[in-house]
Amino acid sequence: MIIVAGLGNPGKEYSGTRHNIGYSAIDYMVDQYAFQKKGTTFKSKCFQGRVGRHHIMMLKPETYMNLSGDAIHLAKQYYKIPSTQVIVIYDDVDTNFEIIRIRKQGGPGTHNGMKSIVHMIGNDFMRIRIGIGPKPEKWELNSFVLSDFNAFEKKTLPTILKNTSDAVMCIIDKGIDTAMNQFNKKTPSI
């Protein structure tokens, strides 16, 4: 069992915002691989499926961003899996738009959702940061991350979500080192 969690905030007012790109990545993969919805459990919207020999549980925590760790902890405990079998996808304002970065582990940085996860399950989980930056100087951080993507960015999102999906499947199938070598050096087309 592999758990793949995409971070975001529930509710229509947050749908499609920069901060919810983790949710968008899960939605993309659920559609791409025809995962089955398993309802709401682990304080999350849950989807299950198989890709090759791998059984995958995809989560969209509904705890709001700052308590994402609660949901992931519940799923991890239920399936009795180590943190090393968890992949978290989230937005990163410090990474330029269109760039994705994969890491084996690490600290939470300034991201409140990641702080919650590290607090609940430690820092030995894999993560994929999707760049949503840079933040324009005139914007407050909260206003920027909760804003919609502009017209150009919306056109580019399908490619970013495909790259993220490919990165997740590469991690699962070939290992994180191969995925980091393949995806961390990609540069944006803008």
- Written as six digits, the tokens of 133 are 């930056």
pLDDT tens, position by position, 165-180: 999 999 999 999 999 9
CA distances from 161 to 57, 79, 118, 157 (A): 18, 27, 24, 6
Helix ranges, the chain (H): 21-32, 68-79, 112-121, 141-145, 151-174, 176-183
pLDDT tens, position by position, 130-145: 999 999 999 999 999 9
Strand partners, 41: 44
Residuewise pLDDT in 10s, the chain (190 residues) = 999 999 999 999 999 999 999 999 999 999 999 999 998 899 999 999 998 899 999 999 999 999 999 999 999 999 999 999 999 999 999 999 999 999 999 888 889 999 999 999 999 999 999 999 999 999 999 999 999 999 999 999 999 999 999 999 999 999 999 999 999 976 555 4
The helices-and-strands tally (H runs, E runs) of the chain is 6, 7
Question: Buried b / exposed e across 138-161, counting CB within 10 Å, b at 16+?
Answer: eeeeeebbeeebeeeeeebbeebb
The radius of gyration computed from the CA coordinates of the chain, to the nearest angstrom, equals: 15
Question: Alpha-carbon distance 133 to 97, whole Å?
Answer: 5
Amino acid in the structure at residue 136: P
CATH 3.40.50.1470 for domain 2-183, yes or no, is yes
Residues forming the active site: 19
CA distances from 172 to 3, 52, 67, 85, 101 (A): 10, 10, 26, 9, 16
* CB distance 55 to 64 below 8 Å: no
Q: Where are the domains of the chain?
A: 2-183
